[in-house]
Amino acid sequence: MAPKISTAQRRLLKEFQELLKSPTDGIVAGPITEDNLFRWRCILEGPPGTVYENGVFEAEMDFPADYPLSPPKMKFTSEILHPNIYKDGTVCISILHPPGDDPLQYESADERWGPLQSVEKILLSVCSMLAEPNPNSPANIDAAKLWRENRDKFDEIVRAQVLKSLD
């Protein structure tokens, strides 16, 4: 008898099939192994016209058992300097914040996670975030400070990371 598939697994399988059927330029994502739909590897190309351009950055997404009611967690495994990415690689972006009102009243509820979001929307949002950092709400304070006060140095570090991402 085949094991029972959960709502979350069904949704993740559907999203993976959708990504395979209609790929998005600069984005590749899917389960790391066939037997675990809750952990994905993602590869994002640095957005054109940005300091991240030509970079190939790897990340992992971990989905909760109640997906899509709760958002996944996303963490870059490639080294990447960015104001909205913690030093450990964890992505800090509104779309990955739990649904509902922001207790700090910084984000509106419609910017935060909702069950209608998808893996593709998350990855497109992260690509947009790479192109347009929000230094006013930094996850990496040092990166935000460098981005604001010494853009040449910031760009130099990121360019080195882009080259390293191609190894």
Q: pLDDT tens digits, residue range 78-115?
A: 999 999 999 999 999 988 987 766 655 566 666 778 88
Concerning whether 92 is annotated as a catalytic residue, the answer is: yes
Q: Domain spanning 7-165 has what CATH number?
A: 3.10.110.10
List the domain boundaries for the chain: 7-165
pLDDT of 42 strictly over 60: yes
Average pLDDT, whole number, for the chain? 91
Measure the CA–CA gap between 57 and 164, rounded to whole angstroms. Answer: 10
Catalytic pick from 92, 95, 127, 144? 92
d(CA 4, CA 10): 10
15-19: long-range contacts (C-beta < 8 A, 24 or more apart)? 15/118, 15/119, 15/120, 16/119, 18/118, 18/120, 19/119, 19/120
Length of the chain: 167
Q: How many of the other CB atoms lie within 10 Å of CB of 116?
A: 7
- Assess contact for 40 and 118: CB atoms under 8 A: no
